[in-house]
Amino acid sequence: MISIKLLDITTAKTDCIVNAANEWLQGGSGVCGAIFRKAGWDDMQVACDKLGHCPTGEAVATPAFALPCKHVIHTVGPIWQGGSHGEEELLYGAYWSSLARVKELNCHSVAFPLISAGIFGYPKRQAWQVAIRACRDFMAKFKDYKLDIVIGVLDPEILAIGKAELQ
């Protein structure tokens, strides 16, 4: 099941949450900074430093430390460059790879932010379309795997766009 909610994902009662990370897995601002702060910045940074790097469109996992979930999936979405630089495929890959890590960890619930739609500049409606398509495709491929997916945003206007796209 896919749901879209007004939600601070750092408070989500899911098995995993997804961090909109950078390729070098360094703590940053926005969603990433909030996750690092609530997990315990130093613990999360040490875990990410051990992983070292995550290419755009892929995902890696760490423990969640002080967060209420079990794992944090760090994925790197693309920076919007006008749409002709493979952004859609990379964003789709970020969602798919994250869901694959969730499944590998035998987890059954995950909370995502709207990847790449903040400081990376991806147009919101298009970001929702890719997110929803990737999640639906993953669930269709793994029909027997029970998975609850929540996409959490903090802005009611962005929420409304997502709910419209989910219909």
91-112 pLDDT, tens digit per residue, is 999 999 999 999 999 999 999 9
Q: What is the chain's length?
A: 167
pLDDT computed for residue 107 by the predictor = 98
Helix (H, G, I), strand (E, B) or coil at 39: helix
pLDDT means over runs of 10, the chain (167 residues): 97 97 95 97 98 97 98 98 97 98 98 96 98 98 98 97 96
Number of neighbours of residue 9 by Cβ within 10 angstroms = 28
pLDDT computed for residue 81 by the predictor = 97
What letter would DSSP give residue 29? S
H or E segment and range at residue 16? strand 16-20
Question: How far is C-alpha 159 from the geometric centre of its chain's CA atoms?
Answer: 16
- The torsion angle over the Cα atoms of residues 99, 37, 21 and 119, rounded to 10 degrees, is 120
pLDDT computed for residue 57 by the predictor = 98
Write down all domains in the chain, each with its CATH number in brackets.
Answer: 2-166 (3.40.220.10)
